[in-house]
């Protein structure tokens, strides 16, 4: 299989299936398309009929696009891995919070774009963005309490992959979080697949001025980086 993704510094949607496949050891070839180039749209359309990425190309050259659709497809094709929780009640809960993440939190997305190479604490955010942060914090606390952590549903699942870009955003902007949510951010950040993505984002060397705005990115060091070659 091939997974078509964009810049690791910016592409929150690309992170989700990438970290999911890496965590579970699902083999794939990574195809990288830079955002903000004259031919970016043309390159993406060669793989994804929606004109958006990520896009998974399966063994029969069929395209599956949208991060949640890719995750559901992987769950069907690799039942030996518990990509969703095995328990049906937990699975329904995980699907619900994943779908909420997929369709909601527009203020957070707009005001806290994923910029892994930047450290920007203390910025002023609208009440709407802070309400999004509070709702996510509440989701995490509820899941961590009900399923006893350290991941949202005990073991790493699609739900954690769906919230992975939020973890990256919270690392950059440092909004106020509950102790439980802050511990979850630290735990997910420390996962090997997440560390590889962070390192790759730091060294990819492709900044897009309109995404950076007026801020100067400050590199966040990663200890003991490992190779990002797909398994």
Residue 6: C-alpha distances to residues 33, 71, 78, 111 (Å): 5, 17, 25, 20
One digit per residue, the tens of pLDDT, for the chain of length 231 reads 999 999 999 999 999 999 999 999 999 999 999 999 999 999 999 999 999 999 999 999 999 999 999 999 999 999 999 999 999 999 999 999 999 999 999 999 999 999 999 999 999 999 999 999 999 999 999 999 999 999 999 999 999 999 999 999 999 999 999 999 999 999 999 999 999 999 999 999 888 877 776 444 333 333 333 333 322
Q: How many domains does the chain have?
A: 2
Measured between alpha carbons, how far is 175 from 227 in angstroms, rounded to an integer? 31
139 sits in which H/E element: helix 127-147
Q: What CA–CA distance (Å, rounded) separates 127 from 71?
A: 32
> Where is the domain boundary, 81, 97, 125?
81
Confidence (pLDDT) at 223: 39
- Domain with 34 in it: what CATH number? 3.40.30.10
Q: In what order do the strands lie in the sheet with 2-5?
A: 29-32, 2-5, 55-57, 63-65
**pLDDT at position 224:** 37
Tokens of 5: 């993704």
User: What is the C-alpha to C-alpha distance for residues 178 and 176, in angstroms, rounded to an integer?
Assistant: 7
pLDDT score, position 214: 43
Residue 141 belongs to some domain of the structure: yes
Residues near 97 by Cβ (< 8 Å), separated by ≥ 6?
139, 143, 152, 159, 162
**164 and 144 housed in the same domain:** yes
Residues 170 and 96 in one domain: yes
Give me the count of residues in the chain.
231
Q: What is the per-residue pLDDT for 210?
A: 77
- Whether residue 6 is contained in a domain is answered as yes
Residue ending a domain, choose from 57, 81, 105: 81
Predicted local confidence at residue 206, as pLDDT: 81
Pair (101, 76) in one structural domain: no
pLDDT in tens, 78-127: 999 999 999 999 999 999 999 999 999 999 999 999 999 999 999 999 99
Let me know whether 105 and 71 are in one domain: no
Q: Considering the domain boundaries, does residue 43 fall inside one?
A: yes
**Which residue range(s) make up the domain with 50?**
2-81
Q: 119: closest CA among 198, 23, 230, 45?
A: 198
* 211: CB partners within 8 A, 6+ apart: 10, 35, 36, 113, 115
The pLDDT assigned to 213 comes to 65
Residue whose tokens read 């962070």: 198
CATH of the domain at 138: 1.20.1050.10
Give whole-number Cα distances, 172 to 189, 198, 207, 217, 219, in Å.
12, 12, 16, 10, 10
CA 102 vs CA 87, 99, 109, 166, 212: distances in Å? 22, 5, 11, 11, 24
**Does 101 share its domain with 189?**
yes
């Amino acid at each position: 299989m091939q997974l078509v993704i964009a810049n690791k510094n910016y592409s929150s949607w690309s992170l989700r299936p990438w970290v999911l496949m890496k965590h579970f050891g699902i083999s794939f070839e990574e195809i990288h398309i830079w955002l903000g180039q004259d031919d970016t749209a043309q390159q993406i359309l060669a793989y994804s009929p929606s004109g958006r990425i990520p896009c998974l190309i399966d063994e029969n050259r069929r395209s599956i696009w949208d991060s949640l659709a890719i995750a559901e497809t992987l769950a069907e094709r690799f039942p030996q891995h518990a990509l969703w929780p095995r328990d049906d009640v937990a699975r329904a809960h995980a699907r619900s919070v994943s779908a909420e993440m997929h369709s909601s939190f527009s203020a957070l997305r707009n005001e806290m774009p994923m910029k892994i190479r930047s450290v920007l604490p203390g910025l002023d955010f609208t009440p709407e963005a802070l309400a999004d942060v509070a709702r996510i914090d509440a989701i995490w606390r509820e899941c961590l309490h009900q399923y006893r952590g350290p991941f949202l549903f005990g073991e790493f699942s699609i739900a954690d992959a769906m919230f992975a870009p939020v973890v990256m955003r919270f690392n950059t902007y440092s909004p106020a979080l509950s102790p439980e949510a802050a511990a979850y951010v630290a735990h997910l950040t420390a996962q090997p697949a997440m560390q590889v993505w962070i390192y790759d984002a730091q060294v990819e060397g492709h900044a897009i001025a309109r995404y950076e705005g007026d801020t100067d990115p400050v590199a966040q060091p990663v200890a003991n980086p490992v190779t990002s070659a797909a398994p």
